[in-house]
Structure 1
Amino acid sequence: MNRIYIALFRKLWFVINKRNYKKLGGNSFIKNPLIVTPKFISVSDNVFVQANARIEGITSYEGISFYPHIEIGENCTIQQNLHLTCAQSVFVGKNTAIAANVTITDINHPYENIDLSIEKQPLEVTPVSIGEDCKIYNNAVILPGTKIGKHCVIGANSVVLGNFPDYSIVVGAPAKIIRRYCFATNQWKKTNKKGDFTKEE
């Protein structure tokens, strides 16, 4: 009975919210968000976002206008307490799973001008892209300008900045590639700090 109630509730939520989103795919559901700006969000089919998410498009800051777009691909699952802020572009590819307490942002608060409060300085904005089939573990922070390829693993508590190729395992603060899939040997292999394969014993 409980499963039937949940299914009906989600269907009702979809009907009520569909017109508010830039796009809202079938069988998708965002559970009890803290903050959500639906008109800037494109959600594909079969996306589930757990409770207490902040998914926010920023349109103006310190007198500067922005045109945010947040896109979440089909079959994505996102656990509780997502913190996603966007002033330009944040893309999450299909089949990607995001664990609890993850932060994703394309916004940086610069601190160059020491005569001006950090919160009063103009934003620096750089798009973020996360490829399909990725797994991002608990408490990871994805920073502005980051591009993560497909089928990548981001370790728990990682602070991620930069470009990471397909089929990489990325961990640490700051995050670095520790393994990549080698198609020549059909194995996951260790890499150096640059992501190049190393000789293994």
Structure 2
Amino acid sequence: MSIISKIKADPRLKRLALRLLIPENEHSPRIWVRLFLNPFKHKKGRNSVIRNSSRMDVFPFNAFLLGDRSIIEDFATINNGVGNVIIGKNTIVGLGCVVIGPVSIGNDVMLAQNIVVSGLNHGYEDVSIPTSKQPVTCKEIIIEDEVWIGANCVVTAGVRLGRHCVIGAGSVVTKDVPEFTVAVGNPAKVIKKYNINDGRWELA
């Protein structure tokens, strides 16, 4: 069993480790974690860019990977506190986006502005406990290659977006979207699909 597995399995060790990594009442890693641990744990691809005003809440106990020639724009937030965040090559995470793991984003993906992609949900079922103190659940979001997500969208936990699909601006995606389709609305529904035989886009 690895050291990380032992820490995760022991509640007391886990509390101590979290105290060392994260200041009380905050969700960002301590400066020593950012400077001395993360550069050795996480991988940033060749010619990739993370803008200075983006918020990188990444921790050494989960993976963070940014592929070659990808960019995380200003005011974006990346958080791998509850699950891995994997971003492929030639991918854009636009201005003001929020990506909370577990999330896997493929190559040549475009996230426009102010998009929320969160693999995390808070429990709410026990009405005697505040929602903020209830256990969280995580389901990985998978965004395949060449996906384009328009501005102000929300992608909820457990969703899979198929290759080369397009999500219209302002949509809320609560279910899987097949490859080579266009989906819009709240909840998002497929309105177009690509006909491989005819080589054209058709109304769904």
Tell me which interval the TM-score lies in, with the shorter structure as reference length: 0.7 to 0.9
Q: What SS does the corresponding residue of 2:132 show, helix, strand or coil?
A: helix
Tell me whether 1:161 sits opposite 2:182 in the alignment. Answer: no
Which amino acid in 2 is paired with 1:47? S
TM-score normalized with structure 1 length: 0.77
1:155-200 Cα shifts (integer Å, max 9, x gaps): 1111001111110101101111111111122221111xxxxxxxxx
Which amino acid in 2 is paired with 1:36? D
Match of 2:78 in 1: 55
Query: In structure 1, which of residues 172, 176, 186 is the aligned counterpart of residue 189 of structure 2?
Result: 176
TM-score normalized with structure 2 length: 0.76
Say whether the 8 Å CA contact 1:57–1:85 is kept in structure 2: yes
Match of 1:22 in 2: 42
Match of 2:26 in 1: none
Say whether the 8 Å CA contact 1:18–1:24 is kept in structure 2: no
Q: What SS does the corresponding residue of 1:164 show, helix, strand or coil?
A: coil
Match of 2:24 in 1: none
Say whether the 8 Å CA contact 2:76–2:93 is kept in structure 1: no
Distance of 2:145 and 2:186 partners within structure 1: 23
Tell me whether 1:77 sits opposite 2:92 in the alignment. Answer: yes
Residues 21 and 137 (structure 1), Cα distance of their counterparts in 2 relative to 1, 3 Å cut: farther
Residues 129 and 101 (structure 1), Cα distance of their counterparts in 2 relative to 1, 3 Å cut: same
Match of 1:42 in 2: 65
CA-based RMSD of the aligned residues comes to 1.8
Query: In structure 2, which of residues 100, 109, 113 is the aligned counterpart of residue 96 of structure 1?
Result: 109
Which amino acid in 2 is paired with 1:156? A
Match of 1:8 in 2: none
Say whether the 8 Å CA contact 1:20–1:38 is kept in structure 2: no
Residues 37 and 130 (structure 1), Cα distance of their counterparts in 2 relative to 1, 3 Å cut: same
Residues 75 and 18 (structure 1), Cα distance of their counterparts in 2 relative to 1, 3 Å cut: farther
- Give 1:38 deviation, angstroms: 6.0
In the alignment, structure 1 segments of 5+ residues that lack a partner are: 1-15, 60-67, 192-201
Fraction of identical pairs, as percent: 28
- Give 1:21 deviation, angstroms: 5.1
1:82-103 Cα shifts (integer Å, max 9, x gaps): 11112xx201110011101010
Higher percent of residues as strand: 1
Distance of 1:84 and 1:117 partners within structure 2: 24
Distance of 2:186 and 2:124 partners within structure 1: 21
Aligned residues: 166
Say whether the 8 Å CA contact 2:148–2:165 is kept in structure 1: yes
Distance of 2:161 and 2:74 partners within structure 1: 25
